[in-house]
Every structure is written in C-alpha cells, then in structure tokens.
Amino acid sequence: MRPHLLAVAAAGVAGALLWWLRRTDRLHRSGERRRREAEAVRAGQLSLAEVDALSWQEFERYVAGLCRRDGCRDVVVTGGSGDLGADVTATLPDGRRLVIQCKHYAPHRYVPSGDMQKFLGTAWLHHRADVAVFTATCPFGKAALALAAEHRIVAVHRDLLGLWNTGTPLTALLGLGGAGQGGAAHRRRWRETYGRG
C-alpha cells in the first residue's frame, strides 16, 4: 500500500476517533447536567420533616442541591473532618464566593454561639468568602444570632431554610441576614410545638 494512502486512512481514523470522543463527552456532560438538575429539583421538594430525617452528610448535599437550583456554579461539598467550617463552597450567579456552614441539629435545639464563633473564625480569612452563610435545621441562640449580625454572616435558621426549600432563591435570603426568628406569635407556636420555654 502507498504511504500517502496510509496517511489518509490514519487521518480518517483519527478524525473518526476525535468525533466519537467529543460526542461521548457531550453526552456525558448533558447526562451529568440532567442528573444535577434532577437532584436540584428533588432538593426543592423535601419537607422539613424529610430534611430532619437526613444524615448530616445528606443535609450538606441537600444544601448544595439548593445552591445549584438557584444558579450557583462550582458547587462543592467539602464537609467532614478538617473542613475548617466550610461544608459547601460555590460561586453565586453574580460571581461572589459563597461559603456555607451546615448544622443538622434536632429542631428543638439552638445553634450555640460557639458554633458561630468557629465559623466566623474561618469564613472570611481562611476561605476568603465574599458571602458567608450559616444554615441550620433549628433556630440560632441569641448570642449566635448577634454574632452573625455583627459580622455579616447570613444566618439561615429553620424558618428561612423552609423558605429556601420551597423555592425562595438564596439571593433573596441574603438580604435578610437571618435577623430575627419571626414575631412573638411565631416564637410562641415554635415553643408549643417543640416544648421549649
């Protein structure tokens, strides 16, 4: 066989292989995107009772799914030992770096100020957050909430988590800052529900 025919045949095989690889990559990316979208939709369909039934690892993935649903990019679940307070990191749709601490506590508990202090100590300096969010399946103690407000940490307590879960975008919650935990009637209902005085 002539050398130039071998070169043409080799180029044809290389072209076909390149086409196949690109097509496979596009199909894989498309499938991955559909899987992430389905996960985000599923995350938005959980009731708070279902959220309470999650493990702490599942809760971190759930929060990551809510971030994806709301248009965040580069969402990474980093939780576990050695995470230095960042359970989820992402890029908000406007390009700001988002760092989230997740606490999956029983609804009758409160997030203590010590947990907020630990997150405060790493969110800005170590993780270089533009936006720091502390989300929990329970309310925040008064001291923890005061620390969050003083140091620009968005405290997403149980009620705000419920709003986020049912479709309110994270960007809408950022302006609230988690300040306050409902009016007197709401706090009374919460105490009656969870038996706390």
CA 188 to chain centre: 30
- Is residue 102 within 8 Å of residue 68, measured between CB atoms? no
- pLDDT at position 197, please? 43
CA dist 84 and 74 (Å) reads 19
Categorize the per-residue pLDDT at 183 as very low, low, confident or very high, splitting at 50, 70 and 90. Answer: very low
CB neighbour list of residue 187: distance below 8 Å, 6 or more residues apart: 181
| DSSP SS3 for 8 | helix
pLDDT above 70: residue 184:
no
> Tell me: the pLDDT tens digits for 28-61?
777 776 666 556 555 556 888 899 999 999 999 9
Nearest to 64 by CA among 160, 170, 182: 170
Which of 105, 95, 97, 21 has the alpha carbon at shortest distance from 59? 105
For the chain, the C-alpha Rg in angstroms (whole number) is 23
Q: Which helix (H) or strand (E) holds 15?
A: helix 3-43
